[in-house]
Amino acid sequence: RCGAARTTPFIRNSILSEKSGFTRDFARAISSSFCSSSVSDETFASSSCASGFSSSEKEDLETIRRRNFPIRTVHVFEKQQQRRKKTTMSSKAKEKEEEKNSIPVTVFVNQKLMDSKPIERLRGMKFDRLKIDCVSDENDGGDDDDDFADNALGEKEESVLSSKMASSESSSSMMMKTKKISAVGWWFANTDALSKHMEREQMTMMMKTTKSGGKEEKEEKCKSGDEIVWTHSASAGVDHLLKHEAIQTHGSVMTNAKGAFSASLGEWAIFASMYFAKEVFNMQRAQREKVWKRFQVDMLKGKEMLVVGYGDIGRSIGKRAKAMGMVVNGVRSKKVIEERDREVVSEMFTLQELEKAVETADYVALALPHTRETENVVGVKVFGKMKSSAVLINVGRGASVDENALCDALNTGKIRGAALDVFQTEPLPESSPLWSIDEAKLLMSFHSADLTSDYHDLAMDVFVENLRRFDQSGGKTDDLINKVDKTVGY
C-alpha cells in the first residue's frame, strides 16, 4: 500500500516465507503491483477475475480485499495465468501436430538388453520426425543369431503387438486418407516378434485396401507392404530374419550392420592363422606337462591367404593378411577386382571356381553369408583339392561347411587344421564329432570372434547413422547405407 518500488523485494520475500503459504506466482503478482508509481483506487471487491484462483488463493484474496489492496495485483496475476494457459494450449497443439507428422520406428529389443547403454542412448536421442518405440521380449534371451539363445515370444510382447494391431484396425479408416509410413528395427530379439509384426501390418494394409478398392488392388497392396518402408537388422547376417516369409517377401527396404564387426573378425582370422603357424597348441601342451620343449614355427609372410566371400569382412581379412606379407586372393560373385582392392588382391575367382582357387592356398578364410548357393559349398570336393598343409578358417556362416566332410579331412590328414567360430547347429550339440578332434588340428570359438566389449555400441553406430538419414530425408530410404538384397540374402 505504500506504493514504493524499493519495498518490493521486502514484500516479495515476506509473502514467500514459509508462514505465508503463498505460491511463488501469486506472491510475484502481488509484489509486482507495488512497482507502479500510480496505484489504482479500485479494490479486489470489484474484481470478478478472482474466481480463477485455487481455494487457498481465494482465501488470500479475501484477506487482501479486506485490507483494500489495489486491483492491479489481480490483473497482473490474471495475465500471467492467461499467458501460461496460452503457452500450454500452444504446446499441446504443437505436440499434436508433431504426433501427426511423426514417423514411428518400432525397435524389437532382446529383453536382457533393454537397460543396456546402447538402448539408453537410442531412447535419449532427439529426431525431428522419428518417434522411437523400444519393444522388449518378455523372456530372457532372444534370437539364435550371434550371441543369444532363441526363446519363445513372451506374453507381454504378444499383448503389445495385439494392442497395436487393434489400434491399427480401429484407425484404418482414418489412415485411408493420409497414409503414414513407419519403420522397424531388430535388436537381437526373437525373430518371431518382428515377423508377426510385419504380418499384422500386411493384414492391416489388406483391410485398408479392401475398403478403398477391389480384390486386385487389395492383393497388390498386401504384397507390397508399403506402410513399413524400412527394416533394419542389428547383425550383419540376415539369414535368420529372411527365413520368415513375412520378412523375406515384404516390400520394405532392409539394411544391416555391415562393417560394424569386420575389424574384429579380420583380427580373429589372423589370430587363427598364427595359432597354427606358431604351434600354439604344442606350447600349451608343454606348459601343462611342465616340459621344456622347443618347436620349429612358421611365418605368415610369403604364404597365400584365400578369402572366400570378399565383402566387407573378407576385405578386413585381406588387408590384415597383406600387412603380414601374405599373398591375398579372393572369391566373390563377380570375377572383378575393385579399384579399392587392387593393392591387396592378386587374383579374384568366382564361387564356381572355388575348387581351383583352393589348390595353392595355405590358409582358406571363409566369410560367406548363408544362401542356397553357399550351403555346404565347402565339402568333400573342395577338401580333396586343398593342400595337406592348408588350414580352413570360418568366420562367416556355419552352413557353408559340410562338417562331416571336415571331420573326415582332419582325421585322415587331407588338410592340416581348421579354426571355426561358427557351426551348422548352434550351440554345438554334445554329439558332434568336432568335440573329439585334437586341439592340434582344430581350434574352436563359439560365435564370439566379434564379441568385443563394444559389440553393441558398434552395431548401434550403424543403426543411428541410418536413423539420421531416414529422419533428415523425411522418411525416404534412398540415402540409407548397407542395403540388403533380400533375393540373394546379403
Task: Please tell me the pTM assigned to this model.
Answer: 0.73
* CB 168, CB 204: distance < 8 Å: yes
Question: Of residues 219 and 267, which shows the higher confidence score?
Answer: 267
* Measured torsion, CA atoms of residues 190, 196, 197, 202, in degrees rounded to the nearest 10: 150
Q: Could you list the active site residues?
A: 397, 426, 447
Region of poorest pLDDT, from 98-107, 171-180, 293-302 = 171-180
> Could you read off the pLDDT of 47-68 as tens digits, one per residue?
444 445 566 666 666 666 555 5
DSSP string, 116-169: SHHHHHHHH---SSEEEEEEE-SSS-B-SSTT--B-PPPHHHHHHHHHHHHHHH
At residue 65, the pLDDT reads 57
Question: Helix 312-323 crosses helix 262-277 at what angle (to 10 degrees)?
Answer: 40
At residue 137, the pLDDT reads 72
- Residue 261 CB burial class (10 angstroms; 0-12, 13-18, ≥19): buried
Region of poorest pLDDT, from 118-122, 181-185, 205-209, 308-312 = 205-209
> Could you read off the pLDDT of 276-300 as tens digits, one per residue?
999 999 999 999 999 999 999 999 9
Q: How many of the other CB atoms lie within 10 Å of CB of 162?
A: 12
- Binning pLDDT at 50, 70 and 90, where does residue 307 land? very high
Residue 191 phi, psi dihedral angles, 5° rounding: -65, -25
Dmax (CA) for the chain in angstroms is 111
> Could you read off the pLDDT of 447-482 as tens digits, one per residue?
999 999 999 999 999 999 999 999 999 999 999 999
Q: Which three cell numbers stand for residue 151?
A: 526363446
Alpha carbons 284 and 22: distance in angstroms, whole number: 79
- Binning pLDDT at 50, 70 and 90, where does residue 152 land? very low
- Binning pLDDT at 50, 70 and 90, where does residue 200 land? confident
Helix then strand count (H, E) for the chain reads 18, 12
* Helix-, strand-, coil-residue percentages of the chain, each rounded to 5: 50, 15, 40
Average pLDDT of the residues in 123-128: 95
Residue with cell 550383419: 236
